Amino acid sequence: MNNRKPLHQDATSPWLLNCTKGAHSPRLRLICFPFAGGSANTYRPWADKLPKDVELLAVQLPGRGTRFNEPCIAELPELIKQLVAAIKPFMQMPCVFFGHSMGAIIAYELCVALNRQHEKLPKLLMLSACSAPQLAQQNEALHNLPTKKFWQEVAAINGTQSEILNNSELLDLLEPSLRADFKIVYDWRQRSIENRPPSVPVAMEIFGGREDSSVSLEQINGWKNYSQLGTNTHRFDGDHFFITHAGNAFFSVLSVLLAATG
C-alpha cells in the first residue's frame, strides 16, 4: 500500500505545492527549489521524513509538472522577479530555503532580491551540490547544442533515468524546460565571473555528495564568502544527485538543522 501523502497545489499560488497538506500547526516552512529538469515532485518523498512541525513547500517552475502547459522561463532575472512576488505571502511564517544544484542558484538569488527590497529573509539558506560563484569551471553552453548532442551531454550528467532517455517522445516534451534551465545556470555562471555577487545576511548550510565529480569540496566551501552569518558544510555518500536517493544520514542532519531553526 502506498501511504505517501498526495502532492497538493497551494490554492493561492501555482508556484508552491504543499507536500504536507493537513499538517497541524506548523512552526516552520521548508521551501525547496528544483535542480535543472526537476520538478516539485522531487521533494514529495521528504514529507514523512521531516519534523512534524515543519511544513514542506516545493517550488513548481513553469513548463513542468502541474504547470507543464505554461511557457518556460529561461531568464533568471525574470524568474526571480516572479518568485519574489509569489513567495512573499508565505514568508510571514519563519522559513528555510533548500535548493539543489540549479535550485541552489535560484534560492540564493531569491535571497539577494528579497534583501535588496528589504523584505523578510529565510532563517536559513541550504545550498546543495552547487559551486559557489566564480569557482565553477564554466562548461560549454549546453542549451545551444543540437538535439542529439544535447541529450548525449544530459546522459553524461547522470541525472536522467535511462527509461526517459530511451523514450524519444518524452525527450521532445522535456527538452524545452531542460534547455531553459541550462541557460539559467550558464548565464548566471557567466555573470558571476564578470561581477561578483553580493553576500547575504543569512546563515548557510552547504551540502555535497562525496562522489560528485562536478562539484568539489573547495567549490562548495566557497559559499563561506557569500554569507554574512557563517556557513557549515555537510557531505554525504553519493554523486551530484545524492538527494534523489538520500538516506538516514541526510535526513537526520536536515531534521536537526530544522529543529534548531525558528
Total tally of structural domains belonging to the chain: 1
Task: Tell me, yes or no, whether 240 lies in a domain.
Answer: yes
The whole-chain average pLDDT of the chain stands at 87
How many whole angstroms separate alpha carbon 70 and alpha carbon 17? 16
Euclidean distance between CA atoms 150 and 135, whole angstroms: 24
Say what the pLDDT of residue 123 is.
Answer: 98
Task: Supply the pLDDT for residue 3.
Answer: 40
pLDDT at 2: 36
Question: pTM for this structure?
Answer: 0.89
CATH of the domain at 22: 3.40.50.1820
pLDDT band at 161 (very low <50, low <70, confident <90, very high): low
Q: Which cell numbers hold the place of 144?
A: 545551444
Is 101 in the active site? Answer: yes
Which of 22-26, 36-40, 63-67, 223-227 comes out lowest in average pLDDT?
22-26
- Model confidence at 176, in pLDDT bands (50, 70, 90)? confident
179 found inside a domain: no
List, in order, residues 6 or more apart from 144 with CB less than 8 Å away.
none
Q: Are strands 28-33 and 8-9 parallel, antiparallel or unpaired?
A: unpaired
pLDDT digits (tens, 9 = 90+) for 45-68: 999 999 999 999 999 999 988 898
What length is written for the chain? 262
Distances in whole angstroms, Cα of residue 237 to Cα of each of 99, 119, 163, 245: 18, 36, 24, 10
The Cα 257–Cα 25 span in angstroms is 19
Catalytic residue, chosen from 25, 39, 101, 192, is 101
Instruction: State the CB neighbour count (10 A cutoff) for residue 118.
Output: 7
- Kindly report, residue by residue over 219-260, the tens digit of the pLDDT: 999 999 999 999 999 999 999 989 988 889 999 999 999 999
- Interaxial angle between packed helices 168-194 and 76-87, expressed in degrees from 0 to 180 and rounded to the nearest 10: 100
Task: Identify whether 236 is part of a domain.
Answer: yes
In the block, residue with C-alpha cell 555573470: 191
Residue type, 179: R
Residue 121 CA to residue 200 CA, distance in Å, equals 9
pLDDT (0 to 100) of residue 163: 61
91 occurs within a structural domain? yes
| 176 domain-assigned | no
Rounded to a whole number, what is the distance in angstroms from the first to the last CA of the chain?
Answer: 35
> What is the pLDDT confidence band of residue 156, given thresholds at 50, 70 and 90?
low
The band of 134, judged by pLDDT with boundaries at 50, 70 and 90, is confident
Identify whether 184 is part of a domain.
Answer: no
Q: What mean pLDDT do residues 127-133 have?
A: 96
> Which range marks the domain in which residue 67 is found?
8-136+198-259
pLDDT higher than 50, residue 7: no
**What is the structure's pLDDT at 211?**
93
Question: Which H or E run contains 32?
Answer: strand 28-33
Is 149 part of a structural domain of the chain? no
| pLDDT at res. 78 | 97
Residues 6+ apart with CB under 8 A from 148: none
Considering the domain boundaries, does residue 169 fall inside one?
no
What does each C-alpha distance from 168 to 39, 143, 151, 161 come to in angstroms? 20, 18, 10, 13
Greatest extent of the chain over all pairs of C-alpha atoms, in Å: 53
Model confidence band, residue 139 (pLDDT cutoffs 50, 70, 90): low
pLDDT above 90 covers a percentage of the chain that reads: 62
* Cβ(94)–Cβ(84) below 8 Å: no
